Amino acid sequence: MEFVIITGMSGAGKSRAVAAMEDIGYYCVDNLPPRMLGSFTDLCMQAENQTDKVAIVMDARSREVFGDIFEGVSEFLDDSRSARILFLDCEDAVLIQRYKETRRRHPLMDGERVSIEQAVSAERALLQRIHSSADYVIDTTHLSVNQLREKVVDIFLDDKNQAMLVNCMSFGFKYGLPKEADLVFDVRCLPNPFYIPELKHRTGLEEPVREYVLKWEQAQNLIPKLFDLVDYLLPLYRDEGKTQLTIAVGCTGGKHRSVVFAQLLGEHMREEEVRYIINHRDIDKRKE
């Protein structure tokens, strides 16, 4: 059986991730106390109508045993079980804003005179060890609901061989660096289509913008150097046991040059038969 443990910061999108897991055939259990993890999975394997894929959510709502979450998961993994950990993360300021907008109470505020800022900080400290042990980390700070769902589906749909997933991401530096990036390439050194009136309001997914970005000698020289470096690094990350690698390509606004090069990286991954997804983080941001 395949088990996925879903955990992370409250408000980071675990419920959305669970919905995506259900959509691709996982049997999902929400808010399971960590001490019950081993017993529950034993029950799953003994069930008459056994399912082969199970996702289990554990979070701060189980606060009476919350301090044992890492120990419970660690003991479970040490018991020769087939399981992976998905951690949903988000910047503190965004988490705080989400709670203020929904007027929901943070799980660690119940019955105590604790501010939302203190609750978020306390939860992050409690989850630090399991965060560092996660197989997959998704930062939802800048993700829409659909983008989060696409990431979850791309990671877990028909993924049986633990192969590394390469996320080819474009982003805009004006909106901040992606926290989940393992490699970051800056293509702001290339001529910018933003200053061409007929291209300004288009994106790197459109052929006129792609042609403009790639027609320059600087871009043509950069492509083989970028591919050579990535081809050299991927086996090293695989040998290290990494299961997900995010290659982020940035330009100023994340709509033109970075999009073209993220697409090129994805096309190269396909040619090399590497499992990949393409994610344009800021392509739909409102133009300023």
Q: Is 198 domain-assigned?
A: yes
pLDDT of residue 270: 92
Assess whether 45 and 185 both reside in one domain: no
Q: Is 147 domain-assigned?
A: yes
Alpha carbon distances (Å) from 202 to 172, 185, 189, 191, 196 = 15, 22, 20, 15, 10
pLDDT of residue 70: 62
- Domain final residue pick, 156, 191, 212: 156
Assess whether 40 and 98 both reside in one domain: yes
What is the span of the domain harbouring residue 50? 2-156
Assess whether 10 and 149 both reside in one domain: yes
Q: Name 3's Cβ contacts closer than 8 Å, sequence gap at least 6.
A: 41, 54, 55, 56, 81, 82, 83, 84
Assess whether 148 and 45 both reside in one domain: yes
Assess whether 91 and 126 both reside in one domain: yes
> How far is residue 153's CA from residue 148's CA, in Å, rounded to a whole number?
9
Q: Is 287 domain-assigned?
A: no
pLDDT of residue 77: 66
pLDDT of residue 72: 62
pLDDT of residue 181: 95
Assess whether 83 and 196 both reside in one domain: no
Task: For the chain, 288 residues long, give each residue's pLDDT as a single digit of tens.
Answer: 788 989 999 999 999 999 888 877 888 988 777 777 777 777 877 776 667 889 988 876 655 544 556 666 666 666 656 688 899 999 999 999 998 888 788 888 766 677 889 889 988 988 888 888 888 999 999 998 888 988 888 888 764 333 478 999 999 999 999 999 999 999 999 999 999 999 999 999 999 999 999 999 999 999 999 999 999 999 888 777 676 899 999 999 999 999 999 999 999 999 988 888 999 999 998 654
pLDDT of residue 65: 47
What are the residue ranges of helices labelled H in the chain?
Answer: 14-23, 37-46, 69-78, 92-102, 116-126, 128-132, 145-156, 207-214, 217-239, 257-271
pLDDT of residue 71: 63
Assess whether 217 and 130 both reside in one domain: no
- Domain final residue pick, 156, 183, 214: 156
Q: Is 261 domain-assigned?
A: yes
pLDDT of residue 196: 95
pLDDT of residue 256: 97
Assess whether 152 and 181 both reside in one domain: no
What domain count does the chain have?
2
pLDDT of residue 227: 97
Q: Is 288 domain-assigned?
A: no
pLDDT of residue 243: 66
Assess whether 217 and 274 both reside in one domain: yes
Assess whether 152 and 172 both reside in one domain: no
Assess whether 84 and 140 both reside in one domain: yes
Q: Is 175 domain-assigned?
A: yes
> How far is residue 118's CA from residue 99's CA, in Å, rounded to a whole number?
13
pLDDT of residue 241: 60
pLDDT of residue 157: 75
Find the CATH number of the domain harbouring 51: 3.40.50.300
- Domain final residue pick, 156, 191, 210: 156
Read off the pTM. 0.58
Q: Is 285 domain-assigned?
A: no
Assess whether 138 and 16 both reside in one domain: yes
Q: Is 286 domain-assigned?
A: no
pLDDT of residue 42: 76
> How far is residue 249's CA from residue 188's CA, in Å, rounded to a whole number?
10
